[in-house]
């Protein structure tokens, strides 16, 4: 599809406002650039906790403490809400702080978006997310998914990528960098149902989110690596 056709296509499928939280992360940053490149920037609202220093063109940035997010979302009234929120235990500092962002804040955004009239919610989660998992990380991710489902959006898209690859800015993740370095060899060993654990480019996940924004079918959908790759 030519660039001009892509812009017209995005204008036709995104008639209303787009809310994005987590724009300072890997996938969120890439998604923001894609939406701006495809002429959807004027409909884009970023909700962040700290000043956003990238150029957003006609888009709007809302800098708010997270306890003020629900009220801000109520004012924005998004048609589509997207969560790319995600932290690490080291960055969060404790299990409680990790859960406060990756579960509680995600859940609060979903609840506020639904109350504000959003029809579709798209969220980046994690492969193997499960509220009954023994792993604390996967349990929190699964509990966040349960909170999203409880809101009964017309359409809910949960993306469960494997290890994300890409350049992170001001986000040191030593363990993740080591895993990424080893991923080319490890990916070769993961076949069949194990493909969901392969590493994946953050840009592919961002492209999949754009593709999901044009879907009209109602229901709850989970997308792993193979589904993501089919959309890009």
Cα–Cα distance, 31 to 39 (Å, whole number): 12
Max Cα–Cα distance, the chain, nearest Å: 49
How many C-alpha atoms does 160 have within 13 Å on its Cβ side?
19
Nearest 5°: the CA angle 151, 155, 158 is 80
How many contiguous H segments (helices) and E segments (strands) does the chain have? Answer: 10, 9
Q: Is 60 exposed, middle or buried (0-12, 13-18, 19+ CB in 10 A)?
A: middle
Chain centroid to Cα 22, Å, comes to 7
**Whether 137 is catalytic:** yes
Q: Of 141, 152, 197, 214, which residue is the catalytic one?
A: 141
- Candidates 60, 137, 139, 197; catalytic one: 137
3-state secondary structure 76-125: HCCCEEEECCCCCHHHHCCHHHHHHHHHHHHHHHHHHHHHCCCCEEEEEC
Burial (CB < 10 A; 0-12, 13-18, 19+), residue 188, is exposed
Contact assessment for residue 17 and residue 79, using Cβ atoms and an 8 Å cutoff? yes
CA distance 83 to 93: 21
Active-site residues, by number, are 137, 141
């Amino acid at each position: 599809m030519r660039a001009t056709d892509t812009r017209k296509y995005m204008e036709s499928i995104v008639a209303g406002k787009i809310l994005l939280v987590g724009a300072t992360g890997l996938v969120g940053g890439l998604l923001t650039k894609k939406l701006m490149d495809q002429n959807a920037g004027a409909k884009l609202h970023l909700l962040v906790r700290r000043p956003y220093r990238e150029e957003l063109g006609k888009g709007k940035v809302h800098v708010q403490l997270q306890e003020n997010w629900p009220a801000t979302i109520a004012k924005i009234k998004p048609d589509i809400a997207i969560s790319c929120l995600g932290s690490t235990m080291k960055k969060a500092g404790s299990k409680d702080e990790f859960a406060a962002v990756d579960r509680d804040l995600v859940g609060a955004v979903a609840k506020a978006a639904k109350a504000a009239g959003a029809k579709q919610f798209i969220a980046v989660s994690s492969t193997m997310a499960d509220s009954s998992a023994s792993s604390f990380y996967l349990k929190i991710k699964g509990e966040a998914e349960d909170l999203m489902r409880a809101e009964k959006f017309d359409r809910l898209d949960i993306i469960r990528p494997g290890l994300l690859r890409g350049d992170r800015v001001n986000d040191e993740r030593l363990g993740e960098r080591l895993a990424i370095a080893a991923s080319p060899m490890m990916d070769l060993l993961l076949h069949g149902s194990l493909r969901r654990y392969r590493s994946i480019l953050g840009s592919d996940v961002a492209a999949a989110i754009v593709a999901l924004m044009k879907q009209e079918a109602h229901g709850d959908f989970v997308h792993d690596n193979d589904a993501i790759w089919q959309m890009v």
